[in-house]
Structure 1
Amino acid sequence: MLDALTVAVAVTALLLAAWCGHAAYKDQPTKDWHFIGMAVVTVLAFAQLVVGIVQLARGERPEQGMAVFIAYLIGSFAAVPAAGVLSLSERTRWGSVTVAAGAVVLAVLEVRLYDIWGN
């Protein structure tokens, strides 16, 4: 995997988590600009998904198993969009908390992807 992309996804996810956590602290739901932030993080996660699939197609293999790697790769791509959809159904501060939690989950998944790949 590309280490720089993994770090970029994790850092932007943590920034999104802090931003939405601050909104929740101020008792605000997710706003349009939060969804723009979610889109940026999702685009980075999609780029990582594509890079991971390309590396697997070229014959490179993760150290800890391909099935586990693919599952984490798909999960990391889906974490923030799923939290965003849930936040639309909860238009209170808890929607912001949901997105913050989803972004933290994504950051943790990135660390695990790094470990699974075996750098």
Structure 2
Amino acid sequence: MTDALTVAVGVTALLLAAWCGLAAYRDEPTKDWHFIGMAVVSLLALAQLVVGIVALARGDSPQESTAVFLAYLIGAAVCVPGTGFMSLSERTRWGSLTVVAGAVVLAVLEVRLYDIWGGGRA
């Protein structure tokens, strides 16, 4: 797995969390621009899923369990889209906070994916 992609997903997820957090602070629901941001983060997470599966298919393996690695990859790919759909049903500031929570969870999942793959191993 590429460390740059992991960092990109984590950083964009935190930027999305800050952006939607500002909307929640202003007592606003998620808007079209927020959904574009969610799409960007989701596409990066989907690209990471593909890169991870290709790495496994090539014979690379995570330092920890492959099943756990795949579960984290899939969870990371569906985290932001799931909270985005939930924010559609809650058209208040709480919808924005739902996206904040999902984006922060995604950033934490990225740190864990880095550890599972064996980040920092020589």
TM-score after normalising by structure 2:
0.97
Secondary structure of 1:30's match? coil
| Pairs aligned (count) | 119
**One-letter amino acid of the structure 2 residue matched with residue 93 of structure 1:** R
User: Aligned partners of 2:49 and 2:23: how far apart in 1?
Assistant: 29
- TM-superposed CA distance for 1:72, in Å, is 0.2
**Aligned-pair distance for 1:20?**
0.2
Match of 2:80 in 1: 80
Whole-Å separation in 1 of the counterparts to 2:34 and 2:118: 33
Q: Which residue identity lines up with residue 79 of structure 1 in the other structure?
A: C
- The equivalent of 1:7 in structure 2 is 7
- Residue 49 of structure 1 corresponds to 49
User: Is there any run of 5+ residues in structure 2 with no aligned partner, and where?
Assistant: none
Within-5 A mapping of 1:28-67: 28-67=28-67
Alignment RMSD: 0.4
4+ long deviations beyond 3 Å: none
Counterpart-to-counterpart distance in 2, 1:109 and 1:78: 11
| Structure 1 unaligned blocks of 5 or more | none
Distance 1:91 1:114 in 2: 34
Q: Provide the identity percentage.
A: 77
CA distance in structure 1 between the aligned counterparts of 2:109 and 2:118, rounded to whole angstroms: 14
Distance 1:64 1:89 in 2: 38
Q: Aligned partners of 1:78 and 1:36: how far apart in 2?
A: 16
State the distance in 1 between where 2:51 and 2:22 align.
32
Q: Distance in 2 between matches of 1:26 and 1:97?
A: 11
Which whole-Å CA distance do the structure 2 matches of 1:77 and 1:43 have between them? 8
Task: For 2:41, give the aligned amino acid.
Answer: V
Q: What SS does structure 1 have at the residue aligned with 2:60?
A: coil
The normalised TM-score by structure 1 is 0.99
